Amino acid sequence: MQFWFARGSEVSIREQLVTQVVLGILSDDLAPGQRLPARGDLARRFHVHPNTVSAGYRQLERERWVEFRRGSGVYVRASKPETSATPALALDQTIARLFRAAQKLGVSLPALRSAPAAVAGDAASRTIFCSLSRMKSCGAFLAAEIARAVTLPVESCSPQDCSKNQEGGIPVVLPNRAAAVRKLLPAGTELLTLQVRSVPASLAAFLPAPSGALVGVASRWPEFLKVARAVLNAAGFHPDSLVFRDAREANWQRGLKQTAAVVCNFLTAADLPPGCRAIPFSLLSESSIAELRRYEAFIRQPIVP
């Protein structure tokens, strides 16, 4: 995985490191069990203090993204935070793998539903909703992206409202929310966990950072602004060349016409002032978008009596 670090930024080097490692894990740029660069190697390569690297790694360990192995180094944990296995989760994952395998093999939903109970079982049948009327995510940002990928109606809800999910809805979450949301769902409900797009891959077309260009960043999602600041600073965009706007605030559009482009999400892109060049950043990975479309095609297959 490629790392970037920017000195003189209001985002600390430690936070830049932590942010990039977390995004790398969520997007699978960093695989479970992969060894991270040694503290000394990373410090020498990027001319940062070893204690800063150590502090970042310790934070990642506390938050259960990585683990220290004595005498060996720092490794990505086998499971993401809040996704440790339980018997119920193991069963859900087994059922989910069964349906994904059926999709890849071209096995229709009617055929799977008519399979002997010893193969599919009643629990498996309850996991698929044949008349899928809506899908729920935990935020408008994620819901907007899902709506661009599928034709099914999409709604958003808070994790606390997931337990109210009516039959016919499939909850959709990002990896770091999966375990918390799963605890709120009725037993047997399938939870579709999506993956985050690789940040280095998404930024590749815009690097090296243009010198002297004023770039805007706008979103209604505070976390988007926070991550964008850390990643863009680390990628070489000078802090003074970035204009951040919280689209929840009044007059948030001011000054954006003077920027060369505005990095934003799809929701905010529609509200930019006329003439602004929008660079919508997609949160979902290509594989997750493809999975959503396969899932929709699978669900929509007619059931023949």
Q: Could you tell me the residue ranges of all domains in the chain?
A: 13-78, 87-195+286-300, 200-280
Is residue 140 a contact partner of residue 119, using CB atoms and an 8 Å limit?
A: no
Is residue 217 a contact partner of residue 227, using CB atoms and an 8 Å limit?
A: no
pLDDT at site 60: 93
- Closest of 203, 241, 200 to residue 9, by C-alpha: 241
Residues forming a β-bridge with 290 = none
pLDDT at site 146: 80
Distances (CA, A) of 160 to 44, 116, 164, 172: 45, 36, 9, 14
- Closest of 208, 204, 156 to residue 181, by C-alpha: 156
- Note the CATH number of domain 13-78: 1.10.10.10
Residues forming a β-bridge with 216 = 243, 262
Tokens encoding 275? 């003439």
Q: Return phi, psi of residue 58, to 5°.
A: -65, -40
Dihedral angle at the C-alpha atoms of 190, 195, 196, 201, nearest 10 degrees?
-160
Is residue 48 a contact partner of residue 5, using CB atoms and an 8 Å limit?
A: yes
pLDDT at site 168: 53
For the chain of 305 residues, list the mean pLDDT of each consecutive stretch of 10: 76 86 83 92 90 93 91 89 47 48 53 43 28 42 79 71 57 75 71 78 74 86 84 83 92 92 87 89 83 74 52
Q: Return phi, psi of residue 154, to 5°.
A: -130, 135
Neighbours of 225 (CB within 10 A): 19
